Structure 1
Amino acid sequence: MRNLLAGLAGSALLAGCTTAVAPPVRLAPGRVAMPVGIVGLERVMGQNAAGLTALFGKPDADFREGAARKLQFQGPICVLDAYLYPEKGAEPRVTYVDARQRDGTPIDRASCVAALTRRGGGK
């Protein structure tokens, strides 16, 4: 009986630990949802390769693997990797970005985007 009560009490405590799941966001075709925590990356997320080139200038590296593509932009402060993936036959668009300082240490992605937009060739 004692074990049963302890088990029920533990179950009741765990039931309070659940989190609500947000419903999926429905967007118009060609638009990318902006997950929480991507403030400052609005100029990059959802862009195609031409949009990134207009923003940052010519990429310093262009890697392709199947339909996926990674464009790398380097500046005096940081390196930004933009990962582009197609969705249902559409042109590949940025779905994720990663950033680091030139020596490899972490840097805020939005700060890197801001720094790169000010480099030569960017708008």
Structure 2
Amino acid sequence: MKRWAGLAVLGMGLGGCATGPSVGPGNLPPPPPSASYSAVGLERILGQPANALTKLFGKPDAELTEGAGRKMQFGSDICVLDAYLYAPKGGGTPVVTYVDARQRNGAPIDRASCVAALVRREGGR
């Protein structure tokens, strides 16, 4: 009986040594699909300059300029919106080219819903 128990333990130990298919340059899994973001509901801010954002949302909670880009951050009790502004090719006034949004706890939120919440904060503007 002890002999069979010893063989069973040995078999279980060797079972842990089994390997799956190796991962290498020729057999990597495909990359995950990239997230696609809709611009629906963002028409009021995409392509707009900084002064249009300030007129719509009020004074930004934070601003950061890094290189050629500028980030303006607006928040409400519901969400935080980051608007990224860049000058068009060939120069000119920087405009919003990308928008990111999240709930206060960091969870995802629809960007257009966040824009709507920010417009309505403090009775709207």
TM, length-normalised to structure 2: 0.67
Distance 2:41 2:105 in 1: 23
C-alpha change, 1:122 and 1:53, in structure 2 (3 Å) is farther
CA displacement 1:26-85 (0-9 Å, x = unmatched)? xxxxxxxxxx82110000101110000000000000000122100000100000000000
C-alpha change, 1:98 and 1:60, in structure 2 (3 Å) is same
- How many residues are matched? 89
SS state of the match for residue 116, structure 2? helix
Q: 8 Å contact 1:78–1:100 — kept in the other structure?
A: yes
Give the alignment partner of residue 114 of structure 1, picking from 75, 94, 116. Answer: 116
% of aligned pairs identical? 68
Please report how far the alpha carbon of residue 121 of structure 1 lies from its aligned counterpart in structure 2 after TM superposition. 7.8
Any stretches of 5+ residues in structure 1 without a counterpart? 1-35
Q: Compute the RMSD of aligned alpha carbons.
A: 1.7
Match runs of 1:10-89 below 5 Å = 37-87=38-88, 88-89=90-91
Code of the residue aligned with 2:106 in structure 1: it is: G
Any stretches of 5+ residues in structure 2 without a counterpart? 1-36
Distance 1:38 1:89 in 2: 24
Q: Considering only CA atoms, is the larger Rg found in Structure 1 or Structure 2? A: 2
Code of the residue aligned with 1:120 in structure 2: it is: E
Code of the residue aligned with 2:58 in structure 1: it is: G
Distance 2:46 2:65 in 1: 18
C-alpha change, 1:89 and 1:122, in structure 2 (3 Å) is farther
SS state of the match for residue 118, structure 1? helix
Distance 2:86 2:123 in 1: 24
Code of the residue aligned with 1:105 in structure 2: it is: A
Which one has more relative contact order, counting CA pairs under 8 Å at least 6 apart?
A: 1
Please report how far the alpha carbon of residue 120 of structure 1 lies from its aligned counterpart in structure 2 after TM superposition. 2.6
